Amino acid sequence: MKKPWAGRFKGKTSKIVESFTESISFDHRLWRHDVRGSIAHAKMLGKQGIIPKEDSEKIINGLRDIAHEIESGKFRFRKDLEDIHMNIEAALIKKIGDAGGKLHTARSRNDQVALDLRLYLRAETREILSLIKKFQKTLLNIATKHLNSLMPGYTHMQRAQPVLLSHHLLAYVEMLQRDIERLKDASKRINLLPLGSCAIAGTALPINRVYVAKLLGFEGISQNSIDAVSDRDFAIEFLSNTALLIMHLSRLAEELILWSAEEFRFIELPDAYTTGSSIMPQKKNPDVAELIRGKTGRVYGNLLSLLTVMKGLPLSYNRDLQEDKLPVFDTVDTVKSCLIILNEMLPVTGFNTKRMHKTAGNAYSTATDIAEYLVKKGTPFRKAHEITGKIVLYCIEKKKRFEDLTLKELNTFSNLITSDIYSCLKAEESVRNKKSLGGTSLDEVIKQIRRLRKTVSSK
């Protein structure tokens, strides 16, 4: 098949140029969207009388046959035809003759590729949203199973205050909910029809873009033909939102790595999701979690890659935009694989709740409870903080725990302290008392789970 620009050129394209400029090796995954967009375009051309209806029908039937061939693995993609668009068009012309050459009427590869990418991202965004919701349910189920399990909460990677394991896990459900909201909001900007913008200026032919948008399920239509063919904001926004999403997954992965270490012993990762060492027989390595953490850098790089491609492009379309697909494809594949494997691994991960409980009350983690106890007795918080700090220092020097202190010892720090303080020194009581909205008390955690289950179940 001749190049689509052959009329202007005398010489043939160099083989090395064909190899350098081809994109079929990676954009072949857009074939479903390319066929779907072409069928809608052909219907519009026939409806508007721009091409004969019988030619429109031939094109549609031919495209459906090609789709079946690709689906069944019989279709041969050719690098000399550059991209998915020309591969399908060449096959169509070969299949139905001259009628196939009418498909590209009132269309350019510039608006065609923008359409394909939008259709692809719309579908993939929906799938990612479904995977996020599934993972939220996984976390909610684990949190419900461990409603009363205590663990040490950390700030600065130092033990801070006792919290419920369920409360800790719900923090990730909240993060993922923000990811859902961002992706849903971005979907509105993905779901705009660029087709009909042609190369840059639109067309003099009587096309019906509203009809095409309706056929393809778009909520709106691009309003400026120059912007439509050169815009990749929607792809950058997708990469930005998924970078935030995988950052949240990476934070969880980091905690799984830490918790599985002998120094913590909070969890036991299943054998099926770990590997060993080629030299150290005793090792059980958290490779899945480590790879999620590592792949996060790749997703960040994809965002920066497309931002860099776009930063110096004059209007409108430039061939640089061919470089938009690999970062998008790689991010989609990476994020989906991370969500899928976490959804499988976390439900079969063992939580060492006895170890967590034992460490929850260590390292003077109920110190803030002593300060708040003094506040209830009328001591200004700053003074209560100072008194409690002195109690902590005394315990460190005497190698004592809070509960080892006698009332006589405690009274040396404040005569407001009475025997009722001892209930404040227990990790269980500390958690039970955190009843502020969003706090870690059991009642509040139950409320959070109910609210989040309702949110996750909504569309």
- As a whole number of angstroms, the distance between CA 364 and CA 233 comes to 50
- As a whole number of angstroms, the distance between CA 335 and CA 296 comes to 9
Copy the structure tokens of residue 127: 């799938």
10 Å Cβ neighbour count for 418? Answer: 12
Q: Would you please indicate which residues are annotated as catalytic (active-site) residues?
A: 156, 277
CA trace torsion 179, 184, 185, 189 (10° rounding): 130
331 in Cβ contact with 302 (< 8 Å): yes
Q: φ, ψ for residue 10 (rounded to 5)?
A: -90, -40
The DSSP-derived string for 124-148 is HHHHHHHHHHHHHHHHHHHHHHTTT
Please tell me the chain's helix, strand, coil percentages from 3-state DSSP, rounded to the nearest 5: 70, 5, 25
335 in Cβ contact with 176 (< 8 Å): no
- As a whole number of angstroms, the distance between CA 424 and CA 277 comes to 46
Q: What residue ranges in 300-454 does DSSP mark as E strands?
A: 350-351
* Helices and strands, counts by H and E, the chain: 18, 6
Beta-carbon contacts of residue 171 (< 8 Å; ≥ 6 apart): none
Measured CA distances, 177 to 34, 170, 236, 288 (Å):
32, 11, 20, 23
Look up tokens 């004969």; give the residue.
Answer: 52
What is the maximum alpha-carbon separation in the chain? 102
Q: φ, ψ for residue 26 (rounded to 5)?
A: -125, -30
